[in-house]
Amino acid sequence: MNLDKLLNDFQKDLSKTKKSDGLEELRIKYLGRKKGILTKITATIPSLTADERGGVGTKVRKARDRIERLLEEAIRRDKDSREEKIYDVTIFGNKVDHGRLHPISLVIEDIKEIFHYLGFVWTDGPEVESDFYNFQMLNIPPNHPARDTQQTYYIDENTVLRTHTSNMQIRFLKQHKPPIRALFPGRVYRRDMPDATHLPSFYQLEGLLVDKHASMTDLLGVLDFFAKRFFGQQTKVRVYGHHFPYTEPSIEVEVLHPKKGWIEIMGAGMVHPNVLKNVGVDPRKYRGWAFGMGPDRLVMLRYGIEDLRILYSSSNNFLDQF
Ligand code: PHE
């Protein structure tokens, strides 16, 4: 009886066995209590002559030990490989910190979405702007009293930090032929002392439509549609006359807030014929309307925020709530 050959055979068998059932069959084949090969060999020992018997018992025991160990290892490996694929979904995961959109961005995205439905596109524009685009092309000549209300930061005589997003009416109309439907969200700057409702930099979102048949009633209908989409179907809107040099007639728009009463949310009006002329659009063929709203104000109304400054504070305690 050749125990080395036996061990060899076992190892060959083992390397061919993949499944758990196979391992059990292998155990029975070599170590089985009745018909196992080693069991049979052990059973022959007593019938050997004393000469033949020398050390055979020890050798057989060693072979059995070795086979048992190899089988155990194989069974453990097989079990491990199956357990790796079992997941406990009830175990708490590690909290992964991730960024999110700022409430002002969320509101701007909502406004875009509402106007996108009406066929509007949107684009960015420069915050450092020429006096020419920020004022003059918008029918606000030098020394015009309307400049006072804008409290402008001048970079030099001809360059300003834009005081409103209306500069984009000019820029867009210079580059695109009507019909036009566009939104211009972005930052604007005014020399204001910071307090709960004023900051020297804040957001505006401009809307502009220029077409052959644009009318004031369209504008009113669109703004009503917007307010209802944004604040809810029950929202009441009212407008009253105002003055902007670049719109005629001009209006201010208010929505009725359940707690705060009527709140102004934007200025608007029919684009002044001079503005159309300035950008080479014939005011006898085309008309336009425009509006400029304050997303910051809308954020405060929507989320019940009382102090504007928290929107610009970068406080995680605040931002984590959105
Ligand atoms: N530019 C105006 C403001 O800053 C808002 C406005 C935009 C008014 C477009 C009329 C038309 O208050």
Q: Is residue 1 very low, low, confident or very high in pLDDT (cuts 50, 70, 90)? A: low
pLDDT tens sequence across 196-213: 989 999 999 999 999 999
User: By alpha-carbon position, which residue is closest to atom 7 of ligand 1?
Assistant: 292
Residue 134 Cβ inside 6 Å of ligand 1? The answer reads no
Pairing of strands 261-271, 287-293: antiparallel
Identify the three-state secondary structure at position 34: coil
Q: Does the pLDDT value for residue 48 go beyond 90?
A: no
Average pLDDT in the 282-288 region? 97
pLDDT tier for residue 20 given thresholds of 50, 70 and 90: confident
Is residue 19 pLDDT above 70, yes or no? yes
> With 80 as the cut, is the pLDDT of residue 273 above it?
yes
Residue with tokens 């959105």: 322
Q: What is the pLDDT of residues 189-199, one digit of tens each?
A: 999 999 998 99
CB of 294 shorter than 6 A to ligand 1: no
- Check pocket membership of 207 for ligand 1, CB cut-off 6 A: no
Are 279 and 271 spatial neighbours (Cβ–Cβ below 8 Å)? no
| 3-state class (DSSP) for residue 91 | coil
With a 6 Å cutoff on the Cβ, whether 267 touches ligand 1 is yes
pLDDT in tens, 126-150: 999 999 999 999 999 998 988 887 7
pLDDT at residue 214, rounded to an integer: 95
38 membership: H or E segment, kind and range: helix 37-44
Per-residue pLDDT, averaged over 104-114, amounts to 97
- pLDDT (mean) for 64-86: 84
DSSP 215: -
Q: Taking a C-beta distance cutoff of 8 angstroms, is the pair 308, 300 a contact?
A: yes
- Helical (H) or strand (E) element with 266: strand 261-271
Q: Of the given ranges (106-120, 240-254, 281-295, 306-320), which has the lowest mean pLDDT?
A: 306-320
Tell me if the pTM is above 0.75: no
CA of 251 to the centre of ligand 1 (A): 9
Tokens for 276, please give them.
Answer: 């159309």
